[in-house]
Homo-oligomer: A and B are copies of this chain.
Amino acid sequence: MTDAAEVGASGPAGTRSRPMTSRFRQREKEILDAAAEVFARKGYSAASVEDVASVVGMLKGSLYYYVDSKEDLLYRLTKVIHQDALETLEATTAVGGTAEDRMRALVRLHFEKLAANIAYTRVFYHEFRHLTGERYVEIVSLRETYERYVVALVEEGQAKGAFCRRRDPHVVMLAVLTLLNSVQQWYRPDGEADMGHLTDEYAAFVVGGLRCPRATRCTCGSQPKEEPR
C-alpha cells in the first residue's frame, strides 16, 4: 500500500507540503509526542526545537524535514486535538435521538478524545496564546465550528422544550465547553477516576444545568444508582 501521493501535514497556507507516507506519519507522531512532553516540562517559551530533536534522537536539521518551526510544532499538536473535536461532532450527530441524548453523547465522546490525547490537550491549554497569524486564525475557526454546534444543540433542546428557554445559549455553550475541557486540569489516565463514572456525573450535571428548575425534592437517597424516571 502506498499513500505517498497524499500530500499534507495540513499546514495553513504558506507552509510547505510534505509527502504523507505511513513512515512520515509515524515519525511525525513521535516528534509531536516529544514536543508535547518538552513543552509541558519546560514551557513553550523556554523550549527549543533542539530540545525536541534531542528527545526523538534526531539532528535539528533532520527535524526540519517534518516541521517548519517551534510554532509549527505547537500548531500541529493543536490541530490534532481540533481534528479529534470535529470527529466528536460527527459521531454526536450520528447518535441521533433527542437533543438531550446528543448532549449526553457529546460529553462521553468529548471525554474519550480528551483522555486519549491528554498530553496534547494540556499543552494546547497552556500555550495556545503563542500561536500567531494564519495558524492562530485556523485554530480559532475550528473552535468556532465546535461552539456553533453546541449552541445549535442547546437551541434545538430549547425549541423542543427539553432545555430551559430562559438560558442564554451562548453563555451556556461557553459553560459546557469550558466545563468539559477543564477536566484536563485534574484527570490522570492512570489515576483513580473512572472515565465511565466521570461521564455519567458530568452528563447529569450538564443536562441538569440546562433543564428548567423544578419544585420537587430529591428522593433518590434509598434507591439503586440509576437515573430516576
**A218 x B168 contact (CB < 8 A):** no
A80 at the interface (CB under 8 A from B): no
Q: Which residues of B contact A181 (CB under 8 A)?
A: 182
**A179-B175, A186-B174 are contacts. A167–B43 as well, Cβ < 8 Å?**
no
Number of chain A interface residues as a range:
35 or more
B45, B165, B168, B220: the one within 8 Å of A42 (CB)? B45
> Which residue on chain B has the smallest CB distance to residue A204?
B167
A40's nearest neighbour on chain B, judged by CB, is: B129
Contact B201 A172 (CB under 8 A): yes
Does A117 touch B at the CB level, under 8 Å?
Answer: no
Interface residues of A (CB under 8 A from B): 42-47, 126-127, 130, 158, 161-168, 171-172, 174-175, 178-179, 181-183, 185-186, 193, 197-198, 201-202, 204-221, 225, 227-229
Query: A178-B186, A212-B220 are known contacts; what are 6 more A-B pairs with Cβ within 8 Å?
Result: A43-B45, A168-B197, A171-B193, A175-B202, A204-B209, A215-B229
